[in-house]
Amino acid sequence: MIEYAELHALSAFSFGRGASSARELFARAKSLGYQALAITDECSMAGVVRALEASRESGVPLITGTELTLADGLKLVLLAENAAGYTNLCRLITQGRRQAEKGSYHLDRADFTPGMLGVLALWLPACDPHGGQPVDAARAQGQWVREIFGRRAWLAVELHRGADDEAHLEALRALAKELGLRCVAAGDVHMHERARRPVQDVLTAIRHHCTLEEAGAFLFPNGERHLRTRRALAAIYPRDLLAETLVIARRCTFDLGQLRYQYPHELVPPGETPTGWLRMLTWQGAAWRWPAGTPPAVATQIEHELSLIEELGYEPFFLTVHDLVRHARSRGILCQGRGSAANSAVCFALGVTEVDPARHALLFERFISRERREPPDIDIDFEHERREEVIQYVYQKYGRERAALAATVICYRAKSAVRDVGKVLGLPAAQIDVLSRALSWWEGDTPIDDRLREYGIDPEDRLIRRVITLACALLDMPRHLSQHVGGFVISEQPLHHLVPVENAAMPARTIIQWDKDDLETLGLLKVDCLALGMLTCVSKCLHLLQEVRGVTLTPATIPADDAATYAMIQRADTIGTFQIESRAQMAMLPRLKPACFYDLVIEVAIVRPGPIQGDMVHPYLRRRQGLEPVDYPSPELRAVFERTLGVPLFQEQVMQLAIVGAGFTPGEADQLRRSMAAWKRRGGLEYFRERIVEGMEARGYATAFALQVFDQIKGFGSYGFPESHAASFALITYVSCWLKCHEPAAFTCALLNSQPMGFYGVDQLLQDARRHGVEVRPVDVRCSDWECTLEPRADDADRQPAIRLGLQQIRGLSTTAGGRLVEARKAGAFRDVQDLCLRAGLDAKARSLLAEAGALRGLAGHRHRAHWAAAGVESSRPLLAAAPEEKVRLPVPGEAANLLADYASLGFTLGRHPLEILRARLKARRCLNSRALRALMHGTPVRHAGLVTSRQRPSTANGTTFLTLEDEHGMVNVIVWRSLYEQQRRVLLESRLLCVEGRVESADGVQHLVASRLHDLSALLGELDVRARDFH
């Protein structure tokens, strides 16, 4: 049978056009016996790495190319013949993308230089869409193509059973002859098989923002644009056109896998080698870390690491990371590295991380492995408000040509798929809303009929069925490229030699067309610059301490192993701290009772979906509390699991388990790790299941144990937390806890100035601070800055200073107005409201906001008087002092009115808690307050009422809802089982003040209220603006 190579095929990375993945295309090409398959996504190389993987998997050679439509309508498929051609394509795509808005491209004929070395061109003549006859303009186009590409140009004939293919073919042949071009057959493939037609139609309609009904002009009239059998092709195309495909395929010898890139050279001073320079910096750092001399064990470790780095040629990577960290330090920006390679003695010496190898030896087992050739993994967290400075530094140092962010491929999720599909199938907007709500968090793997019925949707309805079937088909298909949160790629040559660069949504940002998996596959290194709110908070807190308390501290000099801090942590008194402040974490702390740094590492990692779904939490707790013996199936595994009492908690342990227990090579173990991250998406864990069970049986483990291990691995899924990350996080956790324990005022102040972040809002943070005896002073134009500040206590300088709330807390007040106010005050105290408003140039809105927030109290009196005064400010100072205004009598606002105004204007009150005001009425309803509740025995039936501050229904909790109620004495955790949820859904979801009848459950110092009945008391609140923060 005739041979064929497909030279024009789009994968799903031609967004809104290609309906099949590269994997599907290659599998089909393989089964049809194609000689080669070109992936020619439209002005994009975003799918090419996946195509390379699929090509390697299937054995069908990949031809790299791209389809382009120029601004004047000229359409080309360009193929890379060799590396030079590939670079030319990347340059061209970059040019087209950078000249247009994100997501589109613009290319003119002027963007092509004659020659285009190494590029083969297939010209697709413009044809009348129905008759298939070339239009007149085509001739001129063809001549231009001939000029630019010379002997490397072909006329591509694409026949798809149109109105008259034969005539079309003849016309194209005549045109080619006239222009002196050769003809070649091509398929304009949009899907791997005909059955994808509905998906392709849906994508087309989505792309054109219309319903299928309206999309007639854009849809293909039939499903011929798939990979057709060679028999079908032979029936349509003349033999010579098919044979020509092979001529072209054979010429395209470029192999993406051979791509290499070089690190920037400027990190190493002239005359130095990267190896020598890194060694120098490392030992210099070691001398700074250990002034008394590097401990011998660490010195050995450093030598070992350096030789490994040298062997693998990773010096420039470490030098890059070091350079970023050094720059951040010099600007006073807090940062910390994490990741396997970050937890190395070299990185500690370089100042990238604070995890001391001398103190935490066991963390350093996984560094970089020689066998895996895995790129070193270092993420650097920076203060979130100052990360941009670091990013701009990178751009400045290497230039936009050589540094760009990695892309993130945004894929269809259930919600977005249902929305888009519903729209194009003409489902009414209201129904789309309901459907997408019903399907939120659905992953396409569980039956959904009951869920739909629960939302009042008939799953038998044909339209609904169709929407769901198609939405399922769209799940996980790429939708668009977005920017990675902070992964930079930096290279010696301009990046577009390597990969196309395009515009990101944010101005002044550019991204490359590959995501982090693509980079990994090709062995390119990236540096992750991430933003972390808590670092901002810690940094601000340390500055405050220096200014107000005269204490100079850095994360490294904060006393380690502080007993008071651990005692606080064990009490779960951790509101506002890093990582261990959530409801779930606070419920775990009194059970786990962290007493040393490694306990914190475990605490950070254990309250995660991975360990929870893998059912690892309870075994660990039982063993820790001595309720269950710690045993190990073998001495080898003991070494792996001893630090976590035999329970696998970390990703590293799963990998080691596979190596030690089931005989995986390190490379295979790494594959397992990646598959764990993606198995829900791609499947493919079954292969490992057999390997693990066989391997473990062969090593004498029981089959049941092996299966249990496998299930745990599966449960880990994509949520397994690497120990190396947990360790770095735990360090920040400890620092934040120490600050909260010893400097609560400064810590709270810094938290307020770093909002929004964390689990709690300003209201809760302030209440917590006040419960810890910190004085909070109201916003006042006479002394508030824009941010919150600390005011030393006049009576006793040793006591915690008071927090003076900043103008920032006033909702709606602009930064500029606040800034002018603070600036004006520097020239002298304000005499009265008139003086304030004139000098600070405050408009009516700002004046009213200040009055409403009570910030004018010191100048004008109570809120009503403040409003009267603020409204009476005249826009310019009168020439003659006007007669003093007549005094007016205005009523004093009541407590409830003040409370309402406080909540509306600030979101919190410094007056009495609303429930304290309502206490008598709650008492009449026999509701206990939270303090009384805490004293109750396990099992006591009780009624309690509180403001609902959070509702959570984690997907891991089997339909259980967790509520947090707040009253004047603190918070109470409520558990609502699924059955009650179903009975009282509305009360549960809509109450702001909720009364819970139930039973107290306490164990290990953790108390919950298990609800048996709920009552909505929101009416008591009147119009209090106390909105629950829902986390779904």
| CB 165 to other proteins: min, Å | 8
Neighbours of 133 (CB within 10 A): 17
Q: Which one, 24 or 852, has the nearer CB to other proteins?
A: 852
Beta bridge partners of 928: 944
Query: Which residue has 């908070």 as its token pair?
Result: 537
| CB 220 to other proteins: min, Å | 8
| CB 3 to other proteins: min, Å | 24
Residues 6+ apart with CB under 8 A from 376: 314, 317, 318, 339, 340, 341, 368, 525
In the chain, the amino acid numbered 714 is K
What span, in angstroms and rounded, lies between the C-alpha atoms of 478 and 473? Answer: 12
What span, in angstroms and rounded, lies between the C-alpha atoms of 37 and 35? Answer: 7
Q: Which one, 429 or 704, has the nearer CB to other proteins?
A: 429
What span, in angstroms and rounded, lies between the C-alpha atoms of 488 and 509? Answer: 11
Nearest to 39 by CA among 20, 610, 973: 20
Nearest to 728 by CA among 267, 378, 413: 378
What span, in angstroms and rounded, lies between the C-alpha atoms of 818 and 842? Answer: 9
Task: Quote the DSSP letter at residue 546.
Answer: I
Q: Specify the DSSP element, H or E, that contains 672.
A: helix 666-682
Q: Which one, 217 or 627, has the nearer CB to other proteins?
A: 217
| CB 144 to other proteins: min, Å | 25
Nearest to 780 by CA among 801, 753, 809: 809
Residues 6+ apart with CB under 8 A from 13: 22, 41, 44, 46, 47, 50, 478
Q: Which one, 530 or 904, has the nearer CB to other proteins?
A: 904
Q: Which one, 215 or 572, has the nearer CB to other proteins?
A: 215
Burial of 111 (0-12, 13-18, 19+ CB in 10 A): middle
Q: At what angle do helices 895-905 and 914-924 cross, to 10 degrees?
A: 130
CB hemisphere CA count around 63 (13 angstroms): 33
| 246 token code pair | 């092979």
| CB 130 to other proteins: min, Å | 4
Q: Which one, 81 or 224, has the nearer CB to other proteins?
A: 224
Alpha helices in 701-814 (DSSP H): 703-716, 723-742, 744-753, 762-771
Residues in the chain: 1032
| CB 897 to other proteins: min, Å | 8
Q: Which one, 201 or 668, has the nearer CB to other proteins?
A: 201
Residue 547 CA: distances (Å) to CA of 592, 803, 947: 37, 14, 37
Beta strands in 103-195 (DSSP E): 119-124, 153-157, 182-185
| CB 844 to other proteins: min, Å | 10
Peptide bond into 756 cis (omega under 30): yes
Q: Which residues bind other proteins (CB under 8 A)?
A: 128-131, 160-164, 166-167, 197-198, 201, 212-219, 221-224, 425, 462, 466, 848, 851-852, 863-865, 867-868, 871-872, 874, 885-886, 888-893
3-state secondary structure of 769: helix
| CB 837 to other proteins: min, Å | 13
Backbone dihedral region of 576: left (phi > 0), alpha (psi from -120 to 50 degrees) or beta?
A: left
| CB 15 to other proteins: min, Å | 21
Q: Which one, 128 or 272, has the nearer CB to other proteins?
A: 128
| CB 434 to other proteins: min, Å | 21
| CB 866 to other proteins: min, Å | 9
Q: Which one, 194 or 326, has the nearer CB to other proteins?
A: 194
Q: Which one, 426 or 792, has the nearer CB to other proteins?
A: 426
| CB 899 to other proteins: min, Å | 15
| CB 135 to other proteins: min, Å | 10
Q: Which one, 159 or 655, has the nearer CB to other proteins?
A: 159
Beta bridge partners of 995: 945, 1015
| CB 124 to other proteins: min, Å | 18
Q: Which one, 662 or 901, has the nearer CB to other proteins?
A: 901
3-state secondary structure of 811: coil
Q: Which one, 220 or 1031, has the nearer CB to other proteins?
A: 220
| 735 token code pair | 């620092």
Nearest to 222 by CA among 242, 200, 206: 200
CB hemisphere CA count around 393 (13 angstroms): 18
Nearest 5°: the CA angle 649, 655, 661 is 100
Nearest to 533 by CA among 388, 386, 389: 386
Q: Which one, 717 or 907, has the nearer CB to other proteins?
A: 907
Q: Which one, 50 or 160, has the nearer CB to other proteins?
A: 160
| CB 166 to other proteins: min, Å | 7
Q: Which one, 198 or 590, has the nearer CB to other proteins?
A: 198
Contact 840, 816 (CB under 8 A): no
| CB 817 to other proteins: min, Å | 19
